[in-house]
Amino acid sequence: MARLSCSALFLFSAGAGCALIAAGCSYKVVEDGRVNREAVRQLVETVAEIRGLPQTRPLKVALESPALLRQRAERDARDQRRSADLDRQRLVWGKLGLIDVTADLVDAYGKLTSEAPYGYYDTGDQVLRIVARPLMRSEVLELVSALRGRDVVAGEILSHEVCHALQDMAYDLDRLHAEAPDDDARLALQALVEGDAGLVSFLYAASFFQDYESWVEFLRRRVAHAFAVAGVPDYLNARLQFPYLAGGLFVAALYRSGRFAAIDETYRQLPLSTELILHPEIRATAAAAPVAVALPPWPETAGEVVLGEDTLGEFGLRTMFARNAPGIDAAQAAAGWGGDRYRVVQQADGTLGLQWATRWDSVHDARQFCDAYRAMTRRGDRDLIEAVSGTSFHYRAGRDLRVVIDCAGDAVDVAETMGDPRTAELLQQMAAARAMPRSAPGTRPRTMPETLP
């Protein structure tokens, strides 16, 4: 454990207050505008002992100013390729109803990245970066820090980032991220990584809460809004919070079942969907893996562009319904998710088309989603007229067929071309793809109770 490194320590009363005089103390991570290497060494040793992951290479540490962080954010915002990618993402998320299609994602991400943290671990160059900004320190916290021989103010923040460094040494976080099959799996991975580091920082700080799970619940109920950045779409703020809050509860369940050994095993058999994060009762096993869903090719014509193809997952479905169907129980409508794949296309006239195939654990789960999506469609355009044809619901504006939702068994397919005559053709192709052989029934577990509203 870290040692108290002070040559002298005195505490004396002074009227209603008290003062701490510490000569030669080395517990502060940053002193006089410089990194205290001895304090960092003790911090790394303590975190490695708590987490049970060895330090396999020296940890590089750099001190940088908030101004430098802002310069990086501004440089990223000016990058034309990044701006083009964000513009495509804006259209995709806008078509899915996750954000306003007119939102400025370049500005939003600029605000997110300019919110200067006190420290962060950069997986790219494997450097722990400490941002030189003042922290609120009280005499009581300074005394606790001196007595424990660790900086409980800066250390609680940096222990989280040191844990990321140890995770990276053990598991290669960039590799895990690159190998994740889709966006939903990447968000699930991030939840595991952040929940793990959050648990370590909780144990490092020896919080007054009874256990880590109660601390995460406190954050979820009381101060989750504090994580939200003003002027940023709610969906981005929700994505920012998800790895810490849902990931915290997921990791708390793992830790309760098998301490850090259970968490380490989860890195070797990763959760491949946010469903597994939201439902810790479902272990990341082959039986719980998402159903692979393939989309037939879009029958392209001149001037059309495929903007994006990915998996939305249970977390995305929850946030979509919460935003667009306030009368719907979003968690219930998304429960029983088995897999999905969407494709958003910008048509020649600028309108956005959508192919979306979803699979569910049961016919009941599929029907709940179908009913919720129908309600959301009608709410989004009150001029649409609904007609039923077999298992399909057709939505027309005048003579234009704009949306078709096919609810067949444990599958729900959506085709939207906003009036293009290929809508029916798209749905037929998706139905044909659905008829192809896939995983045998019963390979996925039944839906478990919700753990995160």
- Rounded to whole angstroms, how far apart are CA atoms 30 and 339? 47
Angle between helices 105-114 and 66-78 (to 10 degrees): 160
Direct distance between the N- and C-terminal alpha carbons of the chain, in angstroms, rounded to an integer: 39
Question: Look-up: residue for tokens 């998800």?
Answer: 242
The pLDDT of residue 42: 86
Give the SS3 label for residue 68: helix
The pLDDT of residue 115: 63
Q: What is the pLDDT of residues 224-280, one digit of tens each?
A: 565 677 788 889 889 988 999 899 989 999 998 889 999 999 999 899 999 999 998
The residues, ordered by sequence, that sit 6+ positions from 1 with a Cβ below 8 Å of its Cβ are: 45, 46, 49, 149
Beta carbons within 10 angstroms of residue 183's beta carbon: 16
> No. of H helices and E strands in the chain?
15, 14
Sign of the CA dihedral 95, 96, 97, 100? negative
pTM over 0.75: yes
Q: What are phi and psi of 439, to 5 degrees?
A: -55, 140
**Residues of the chain below pLDDT 70:** 1-27, 32, 73, 77, 114-117, 132-154, 206-210, 220-227, 284-287, 300, 302, 418-421, 435-453
Considering only CA atoms, which of 314, 310, 260, 308 is closest in space to residue 288?
Answer: 314
Radius of gyration of the chain (CA): 25
Give the SS3 label for residue 309: strand
DSSP-assigned beta bridge partners for residue 62 = 129
CB burial string 55-77: b at 16+ within 10 A, e below:
beeebebeebeeeebeeebeeeb
- Rounded to whole angstroms, how far apart are CA atoms 40 and 45? 9
Beta carbons within 10 angstroms of residue 323's beta carbon: 19
Written as one letter, the residue type at 316 is G
- Rounded to whole angstroms, how far apart are CA atoms 311 and 71? 33
Considering only CA atoms, which of 289, 377, 295, 299 is closest in space to residue 339?
Answer: 289
- Rounded to whole angstroms, how far apart are CA atoms 146 and 9? 8
Q: Are strands 60-64 and 127-131 parallel, antiparallel or unpaired?
A: parallel
Written as one letter, the residue type at 359 is R
DSSP string, 269-300: S---SHHHHH-TTS-SSGGGSPPP--PPPP--
- Rounded to whole angstroms, how far apart are CA atoms 156 and 147? 16
The pLDDT of residue 268: 92
Q: What is the pLDDT of residues 334-393, one digit of tens each?
A: 999 999 999 999 988 888 989 999 999 999 999 999 999 999 998 877 788 888 888 889
Question: Are the CB atoms for 98 and 235 separated by under 8 Å?
Answer: yes
Give the SS3 label for residue 354: strand
Sign of the CA dihedral 272, 273, 278, 282? negative
The residues, ordered by sequence, that sit 6+ positions from 135 with a Cβ below 8 Å of its Cβ are: 118, 153, 154
